[in-house]
Amino acid sequence: MPKDSLSITDNRTGKTYEVPIADGTIRAMDLRQIKTGADDFGLMTYDPAFMNTASCRSAITFIDGDKGILRYRGYPIEELAAHSTYLETAYLVINGELPTKAQLDEWQFQLADHYIVHENLKKFVDGFHYNAHPMGMLVSTVGALSTYYEDSKDIFNPVARQHQILRLLGKVPTLAAYAYRHSRGLPYEYPDPRLSYVGNFMAMLWKRTGAEERYAPNPVLERALDLLFILHADHEQNCSANAMRAVGSSHADPYVSVAAAAAALYGPLHGGANEEVLKMLREIGSKDAVPGYIKRVKQGEMRLMGFGHRVYKNYDPRAKIIREAAHSVFNVTGTNPLLDIALELERIALSDEYFVSRKLYPNVDFYSGLIYEAMGFPTSMFTVLFALARTAGWIAQWQEMLLDKEQKIARPRQIFTGHATRAYVPVDKRK
């Protein structure tokens, strides 16, 4: 009997089965042999929300939730945050290795070639209501990109696939900036390929049309935004990565798959939490009101937004880095008065048994919004910034899924709880 195996006795039949253990898992399909008779379909696993199910093999991101460890392709997030750029990290996450200088220069040059979007897309964005949420605009316009590129469905052609990757990474910031400019009633700014990836994004957001020939991003804010994008680049099999993989598994093109992933991220339990944190801090209003708010959370009235995580049962390493980065931003912009409320909330929560027993710590969304707001972003843009940065991770997850010979179209099973068969009743006979 191999030691890496599970011996299962089915007490319904007295039969025993040996199921191999590999990588800390058993294959769910190995349970199908466990039957009570020839007509029995065999055992399945039941795992709502995939609390304990590995859906894939992945080499992109490693998280140790208990130790608060996060690594992209083996590199600790703390080292990438200190030394890398978002563009370099996006290359690493997607291609698996840090680029050489020549590769990085070529990557930057090629991406800059794809910042521009078809002029028609402006009409698309113009069609949105004046107060349309920028995330709703981004989900729609990214999906619309699939209508411009016929080769987008040629997903197993590596040259065509690389072309879509460059288009997505190049154009998502432009679409994000267009959504912002529309929500402000401002004319769209064309991309400026002479600027850095983040600098160009800032220029498309904040260049004052006509008032300045060339936008010069504040280097401290440019660096802070670049750092935030690094921290948000990927996070293994989260809800939006799962959406990207599931939609991509039907061999839909990468644009509509990214639109699906962005739609998942939009939810307040996922990427939408950074916007909810600011609303929560405003609702609390002052440090003195924190204990009362925490009391309501503990009574189950609402959740502490920006706290808790499915995987991290320790402090989210990204939240630590963001909290430190906040100071450099506030030195330029002036501090955000909500920071004191956030720090008091963290101080009290981390010593309260309700949060400690449930291992609820600040996550990536707890402090990021404070920086975004201090930089001048409205809360409605916070999740758009998250989606912009996570586009690299979604692409990496999508490409890894496509090239994984074990993967096929995602199609879970169910436990049927509905009616057994019953005869149709004509409408005049129904009670």
Close Cβ partners of 270 (under 8 Å, ≥ 6 residues apart): 238, 239, 240, 264
Contact characters 265-304, ligand SDX, x per CB under 6 A: ----xxx-x-----------------------x-----xx
The amino acid at residue 212 is E
Active site residue 133: no
Does residue 358 belong to the site contacting ligand SDX (CB under 6 A)? yes
365 binds ligand SDX (CB under 6 A): yes
* Beta carbons of 199 and 214 less than 8 angstroms apart: no
* Helices marked H in 38-157: 77-83, 86-95, 101-112, 120-126, 134-145
30, 226, 316, 365: the active-site residue: 365
Identified binder of ligand SDX from the candidate list 89, 174, 333, 363, rule CB under 6 A: 363
Among 270, 340, 352, 404, which one carries the catalytic annotation? Answer: 270
Please say which residue, 76 or 193, places its beta carbon nearer to ligand SDX: 76
Binding of ligand SDX by 306 (CB under 6 A): yes
Other C-beta atoms lying within 10 Å of the C-beta of residue 237: 20
Q: Does 308 bind ligand SDX (CB under 6 A)?
A: yes
Among 177, 290, 364, 392, binds ligand SDX (CB under 6 A): 364
Residues 6+ apart with CB under 8 A from 161: 154, 155, 254, 399, 402
Partner residues linked to 18 by β-bridges = 7
309 is catalytic: yes
Angle separating helix axes 197-206 and 219-231, nearest 10 degrees: 110
Query: Which letter does DSSP use for residue 285 in this model?
Result: -
CB 261, min distance to ligand SDX, A: 10
Taken in order 197, 198, 203, 205, is the CA torsion positive or negative? Answer: positive
Q: Which residue's CB is nearer to ligand SDX, number 112 or number 349?
A: 349
Is position 34 an interface residue for ligand SDX (rule: CB under 6 A)?
Answer: no
**CA-based max dimension of the chain:** 82
- The verdict on 261 binding ligand SDX (CB under 6 A) reads no
Q: Quick one: 189 or 276, whose CB is closer to ligand SDX?
A: 276
Give the nearest distance from C-beta 342 to ligand SDX in angstroms. 13
Closest approach, Cβ 363 to ligand SDX, in A, equals: 4
Q: Binding segment for ligand SDX among 32-40, 85-93, 120-128, 361-369 (CB under 6 A)? A: 361-369
* Binds ligand SDX (CB under 6 A): choice among 238, 242, 249, 380: 238
Look up 182 and say whether it is catalytic. no
Q: Please state the closest distance from residue 265 (CB atom) to ligand SDX, in A.
A: 8
**Closest residue to ligand SDX using C-beta atoms:** 308
What is each CA distance from 115 to 70, 110, 177, in whole angstroms?
Answer: 30, 9, 11
Alpha carbons within 13 angstroms on the beta-carbon side of residue 104 total 15
Question: 363-390 burial string, b = 16+ CB within 10 Å, else e?
Answer: bbbbbbbbbbbbbebebbbbbbbbbbbb
Q: Could you tell me which of 411, 400, 412 has the C-alpha nearest to residue 56?
A: 400
- Find the catalytic residue in 114, 133, 232, 309: 309
- Interface residues with ligand SDX (CB under 6 A) are 235, 238, 269-271, 273, 297, 303-311, 358, 360, 363-365
Q: List residues with catalytic annotation.
A: 270, 309, 365
